[in-house]
Amino acid sequence: MSKSRKVKKPNQRKPLVELTEAEWEIMKVVWEKQPCSAGTVQEKLVKSRDRAYSTVKTTMDRMAEKGFLTIKRIRNLQLFQACISEIDARRGEFRKMLKRAFDGTLTPLMQFLIEHEGLSKEEASQLRKLVTRAKNSKD
């Protein structure tokens, strides 16, 4: 038996998830509170940025059409649940950014962070730790 070396993952072909600004705000609440109603989400959001119930509900319905949420009906009530994970959403957001602005590869991004985003000594150290850990935990 060969080593348990991972077989190269066959590039996931699932299209990347792309959320709009409003969708991100809603998804964050849903991930936290699901299953939950539109009202619950609206009440939570109203504290940060004021939006009418129907605004939130409309957006959530559209998200369900897009396959980001599912609706479970209980009598008169609709309970929403996420169909995508936070990881998927983060991946989509990150890759879109990387592709648009950094040629799709990490190196230019890292270069940019260090040269222009003022990575502090502490951040750098933290990063280094993370990277080291990564080194020891895979391939």
Partner DNA sequence: GAATATATTCGACAACTGTCGAATTTGTCA
Partner DNA sequence: TGACAAATTCGACAGTTGTCGAATATATTC
Structure tokens at 120: 């502090």
Partner in contact with 111, chosen from a copy of itself, DNA, none, beta carbon below 5 to 8 Å by kind: a copy of itself
- Nearest distance from C-beta of residue 4 to DNA, angstroms: 41
- Say which entry of DNA, a copy of itself, none residue 134 contacts (CB below 5 to 8 A, set by partner kind): a copy of itself
Torsion of CA 54, 57, 63, 68, to 10 degrees: 160
Binding residues for a copy of itself, per CB under 8 A? 9, 19, 21, 24, 87, 89-91, 93-94, 96-97, 100-102, 106-107, 109-114, 116-121, 123-128, 130-135, 138-139
Q: Find the length of the chain.
A: 139
**Phi and psi (nearest 5°) for 70?**
-120, 155
Of 75, 100, 116, 135, the one binding DNA by CB under 7 A: 75
Our finding on whether 76 is near DNA (CB under 7 A) is: yes
CA atoms within 13 A on the CB side of 23: 19
CB-CB contact of 98 with 109 (8 Å): yes
Binding of DNA by 97 (CB under 7 A): no
77 or 124, CB closer to DNA? 77
For the stretch 130-134, contacts whose Cβ atoms lie closer than 8 Å and that sit 24 or more positions apart, written own/partner, are none
Q: Is residue 67 near DNA by the rule CB under 7 A?
A: no
Asked if residue 35 has a cis previous peptide bond (ω within 30° of 0), the answer is yes
Q: Where does this chain bind DNA (CB under 7 A)?
A: 20-23, 37-39, 49-55, 57-59, 61-62, 75-78
